Amino acid sequence: MTIPALAEKIAGVLQVISLPARLAILLAIGRGEACVCHLETLLGWRQAYISQHLMALRKAEILQDRREGRYVYYRLRDEAILALVRDAATLSGLAPQSVDALTNPKPGPACECPHCAPQFISLSQD
């Protein structure tokens, strides 16, 4: 591989994650997984806006997804992306701990997915 080809490959990943919204999504997902309702609750953005960014991150093979019923859960393909974000934070003058503290926070009560909403068991008496 040539230096220009290597640089182009690296630039592709950096370009995809360079938008603040996509960085926020990566931090929200962190080392775990998140559905769109998690991300809506954590970030305060509309589903359509989040979905556009998720599609770009999936297309770039930064995220992978899995379906569980009507919910789709997203996770990082490689957690090394978080190290890259942490290094970028350090280069920006931020403490790496500030990235770690905001990575994969718990969604609030507005998240309705089966992993967050209370499970109600219906017992019928026949």
Per-residue DSSP letters for 52-65? HHHHHHHHTTSEEE
Count: domains in the chain: 1
In a domain, 117, yes or no: no
In a domain, 123, yes or no: no
Q: Which two tokens stand for residue 77?
A: 């393909």
34 membership: H or E segment, kind and range: strand 34-35
Q: What is the pTM of this model?
A: 0.85
Instruction: Name the 3-class secondary structure at 75.
Output: strand
Residue 24 domain-assigned (yes or no): yes
Max CA pair span of the chain: 73
At 2-21, the pLDDT tens digits run 999 999 999 999 999 999 99
Residue 49 lies in a domain: yes
In-domain check, residue 20: yes
Residue 121 pLDDT: 36
Residue pLDDT, tens place only, 20-39: 999 999 999 998 899 999 89
pLDDT for 118 beyond 60: no
Domain that holds residue 9: 3-102
CATH value at residue 16? 1.10.10.10
Determine, yes or no, domain membership for 48: yes
